[in-house]
Amino acid sequence: METNLKPHNTFGIQAQCKGIIRLYSEQDIFEFLLRQDSQYLVLGGGSNVLFRSDYDGFILKNEIKGIEIIDEDEKALLVKVGAGEIWHSLVMWSVGHNLWGLENLALIPGSVGAAPIQNIGAYGVEQNKCFHSLNAIDLEQGTTRTFYNEECNFGYRDSIFKQAEKGKFLITHVCYLLSKIPNPVLSYGDVASEVGSSTDRSEVIAEAVIRIRKNKLPNPAEIGNSGSFFKNPIISKEEFEPLQALYPGIAFYAAGAQVKLAAAWLIDQCGFKGIVDGNTGTYKKQALVIVNHGAATGKEIFAFAQKIQQAVKDRFGVVLEMEVNVV
Ligand SMILES: Cc1cc2nc3c(=O)[nH]c(=O)nc-3n(C[C@H](O)[C@H](O)[C@H](O)COP(=O)(O)OP(=O)(O)OC[C@H]3O[C@@H](n4cnc5c(N)ncnc54)[C@H](O)[C@@H]3O)c2cc1C
C-alpha cells in the first residue's frame, strides 16, 4: 500500500503514513469505517495542510466524482458535485455554461469537498455566496447528514468544520446554486482592470483571475507551498486606531464593525518578504506564502512560521493565526 505523503501535499513535504486509502463511493467509506482500527485523516488535494512529521494513521483520499444538475429554472441551476472533483474543474465547468458565482474562485487548488471547510475565497468572493448544502458522513456514528448553508457558520476562512465539528465529518457531495443572470464581481482592482468595465460572460472573469493568479502566486508543481499561510487578522476599531497612528501606511480593509489587516503587509514590514531561511522562506512576490525550497521538513516550515508570528507580535502586537491545517 502507498505510504509516501510527498505527492499528496502541495508543500512537497517528505512524510510517511500507514497507508493511503482511496474512497470512490459512500459504500467504500462505510466499509472502511467498519474495519478501521487506527486513526485517520481525510485529505483532498493536500493544498492546505502541513505535515510536521509522519502521520501515524491512514489517509482517506476522497475520490468521489461527478457533476450532476439536480434542479433548474430560468434564473438558476442547482448542481451536485462529488467532493473528490477538482475545484478548478468545477469552476471551468460553470463558466463553460456561462453560469455565475464561482468565476472569481478560478485556479484555487484542491478538491470540491475541502472548499466549504475553510470557506475558500478570493478576489472579493467566498464560496458560501452560492453554496447550497453538502452531504457528509459522520465518521463516529457512521450515519449521513445534510448541512444547509446557514448551518455551516461560514466566515472568513472559517466554518463549523474548522470549529465545533472539526474532523468529525467526511464530506461526500457539495451542492452549489449557480445563477444564469450575469453578476460580475469586479470590486477587486486587479480583476476590474483586467476585465474592463463589465462583461456578460463569466468565463472572461475566470480567465482574468487565472492570469492574475499565475503572475502573483507560486505554482506548487514548481515550488512547494500552501497558498496563504496565515489569515488576515481581524481586530477592533479601538485596537486599530493607535496602530494606524503609529503606522499611517498600514494596509487594511473594512470588515463590518471591525478592521481586517493585510497580513502580507505586516510580514513584509518585519523584513520577511522573499527571504530564504534554510530550506524554507517566503515567496518573493507575496510575503504571506511560505515556500519549500526543495528539502524543507514540516518541522522547519512550522518553526519558520512561528518566527514570523513572533516578529509580527513583537512589532505590532497582532497575533497571526495559521490558515494552513497543521498535522
Ligand atoms: C498556490 C495556492 C493558492 C491558494 N489560494 C487560495 C485562495 O485564493 N483562497 C483560499 O481560500 N485558499 C487558497 N489556497 C488553499 C487551498 O487551495 C484551499 O484551502 C483548498 O480548499 C484545499 O483543498 P484540498 O482538497 O487541497 O484540501 P486538503 O489540503 O486536502 O484538506 C484541507 C482540510 O480539509 C479537510 N478535508 C479535505 N477534504 C475533506 C472532505 N471531503 N471531507 C472532510 N474534510 C475534508 C482536511 O482534513 C484538511 O483539514 C491555496 C493553496 C495553494 C497551494
Tell me the per-residue pLDDT of 148-193, one tens digit each, with 9 for 90 and over: 999 999 999 999 999 999 999 999 999 999 999 999 999 888 999 9
Which residue has the least CA distance to atom 34 on ligand 1?
A: 114
Using one digit for the tens of pLDDT, what is the confidence trace for 255-274?
Answer: 889 999 999 999 999 999 99
In the chain, % helix, strand, coil (3-state, to 5) comes to 30, 30, 45
Ligand 1 mean position to 47 CA, how many Å?
A: 5
157 classed as catalytic: yes
Task: With a cut of 90, say whether residue 38 has pLDDT above it.
Answer: no
Whole-model pTM: value is 0.96
The rounded percent of the chain whose pLDDT value lies above 90 is 92
Domain 67-216 CATH (choose: 3.40.50.11540, 3.40.50.20, 3.30.230.10, 3.30.465.10): 3.30.465.10
Of the residues 47, 126, 157, 159, only one is catalytic, namely: 157
- Which fold is adopted by the domain 6-62? 3.30.43
**Burial annotation 124-159 (CB, 10 A radius, 16+ → b, else e):** ebbbbbbbbbbbbbebeeeeeeebebeebbbeebbb
DSSP symbols for 110-126: SBTTTTTTTT-EETTEE
Q: In the prediction, which pLDDT does 37 show?
A: 73
Nearest ligand 1 atom to alpha carbon 171? 42
Residues in contact with ligand 1 by the CB-under-6-Å rule are 10, 41-49, 62, 83, 108-111, 113-115, 117-118, 120-122, 169-171, 217, 220, 225-227, 325
Q: In the prediction, which pLDDT does 36 show?
A: 73
Ligand 1 mean position to 110 CA, how many Å?
A: 5
At the top level of CATH, the class of 224-326 is: alpha beta
Please give the mean pLDDT across all residues of the chain.
Answer: 95
Q: In the prediction, which pLDDT does 255 show?
A: 87
Question: What does the domain layout of the chain look like in residue ranges?
Answer: 6-62, 67-216, 224-326
Q: In the prediction, which pLDDT does 85 show?
A: 98
Using one digit for the tens of pLDDT, what is the confidence trace for 108-146?
Answer: 999 999 999 999 999 999 999 999 999 999 998 999 999
Which grid cell sits at 39?
486513526
Nearest ligand 1 atom to alpha carbon 105? 8
Dist CA 144 CA 150 (whole Å):
18
Task: With a cut of 90, say whether residue 35 has pLDDT above it.
Answer: no
Using one digit for the tens of pLDDT, what is the confidence trace for 188-228?
Answer: 889 999 998 888 999 999 999 999 999 999 999 999 999 99
